[in-house]
A and B are shown apart, each in its own frame.
Chain A
Amino acid sequence: MSKRYREEEMMRKSLLISPEVCIGCRGCQTACKEWNRLEGVKTRNTGTFENPPDLTPALYNKIKYVEVPSEADRQRWLFVSQRCMHCGDAGCMKICPAPGAIYRTPEGAVAYSKEKCIGCKLCVTACPFDVPRYDNNSKISKCHLCVDRISEGLPPACSKVCPTGAIRFGDRDLLIEFAKKTGYEKVYGERDLEGLGALYAFKDAPTLYGMNENPAIPESVIFWNNILKPLSYLGLGGAVALALIHYVAFGPHNEEEVK
């Protein structure tokens, strides 16, 4: 299974999130909790309907409420579904030191195995979207695109329950085509990070919805992956080779030779 998503591109699945048709009912949050058997978390009212305030180990997805009042539209309210973006080139998978802890499903989802997770939390630092959380046992916890549903041909719980079509699930190519046909020239996540598994049909600039314009894996992680990793065995091999060459060319320091 490759880390990047290329060979199975044709059958890659994804979500298409359309904030313009989201009514902020949060059925997706509830459905996710039900399907994944995640317990509720007690929170405090902080003067907003956005609740809970952030993703937690028991909250894989949430609706972000963004108020953007303007002259033209005094009550503009944006609802943005947040979750793991299932990046085509995922920072978490790149940095993870435990084989099989974070893996790619045939549908293109970035899923994980709590048994294989070693609890180092490196994935937290390499995620461009600040998604992975850790449960009480120090194991990774995040949206896995309902890997146990999509492998059976069912849509993820959030998309299944969405009453307005704000979260659609399907073939990635078809969803992009659909978004473009319905008037969204630019689909957020179409190309970023070798294509995101959560596409967004934004009417305005992504930043208005609280999204990064150019999401990227931290440069230090890319440098480490492309340069430092191969350099480790090349350097070791080089040093051993140098010692061998020296031994053949000059030989050991013998006592007769040392003055």
Chain B
Amino acid sequence: MNNLIRKAGAFEIANHWALALSFFILTVSGFGFLFHLEQMNSIFGSFSRMKLIHNWAGVIFLVSLLLTMFTYLPVSVSFGKDDIGWLLKAGGYLSRKAVLPPQDIINTGQKFFFLVFLLLGYAISASGLIIWLAAGVKKWVLLSHLIHNISFDLLLVIIPVHIYLGTFANPGTFRIMIYGTVPLEWAKKRHAKWVSKMGY
């Protein structure tokens, strides 16, 4: 385990945790609002306070989202033939012995996830801000309410998949969110392009 390579810095790790925790709080309180879960009173104190926490957790989520953009946006929009190869093999997730084209610091699936998450994240943040700040303005709030809930439903599908792929499906990945480093050998297998770019 001596040969470790840094995949994420301290700032990136902290930011990802901020994003994840704010998302968790937003989801729990969101379900509370959606289904009138009175049990939330024992967690948040009251629905008024839950609204306050929901709104400000949303602000943290948005700021964190903005910061996330700098990390992976450039690499996420660069698609090449290796990405097509990755997609044709479904990322190796539908076979036990797939040979995949070399990948960059994030693989094709992660690129797609990043772009979709960015889009949904901004949609749910912007619509949330309108519901909050333009309260009572019928046209805008109704549209935002719709967008807020559509993006919520979609996020509830892609985030569990993201968590699964980052933990159980790919052992050794979750440590990036704690230490930011991965074994060099692991990285060579999964992110060959990036590793060679780094000069190993």
The CA-CA distance from A253 to B165 in the complex, in Å, is 9
B160 touches A239 (CB 8 A): yes
A118 and B48 within 8 A (CB): yes
> A236 touching B156 by the CB < 8 A rule?
yes
A121 / chain B contacts, CB cutoff of 8 Å: 135-136, 141
Are A243 and B161 interface neighbours, CB within 8 A? Answer: yes
B152 in the interface (beta carbon within 8 A)? yes
Question: Does the CB pair A124–B138 fall under 8 Å?
Answer: yes
* Interchain pairs with CB closer than 8 A, number: 130
Selected interface stretch from B10-18, B73-81, B143-151: B143-151
Tell which of A18-26, A73-81, A170-178, A244-252 binds the partner.
A244-252
Which of A121, A134, A218, A247 has the largest count of B CB atoms less than 10 A from its CB? A121
The DSSP consensus for interface residues of chain B is helix
Q: Count residues on chain A whose CB falls below 8 Å from chain B CBs.
A: 43
Q: Is the CB of B92 within 8 A of A253?
A: yes
B100 at the interface (CB under 8 A from A): yes
Q: Are B145 and A95 in contact (CB under 8 A)?
A: yes
Task: Assess the B93–A223 pair: CB atoms within 8 A.
Answer: no
Contacts of B1 in A (CB 8 A): none
Can you identify 20 A-B contacts, CB atoms within 8 angstroms?
A97-B51, A99-B37, A119-B51, A122-B131, A122-B145, A218-B142, A220-B145, A223-B146, A228-B150, A229-B34, A229-B149, A236-B156, A236-B157, A239-B157, A240-B160, A250-B93, A250-B95, A253-B171, A255-B186, A259-B99
- Using a CB–CB cutoff of 8 Å, the interface residues on chain A facing chain B are 95, 97-99, 101, 116, 118-122, 124-126, 134, 218, 220-221, 223-224, 228-229, 231-233, 235-236, 238-240, 242-243, 246-247, 250-255, 257-259
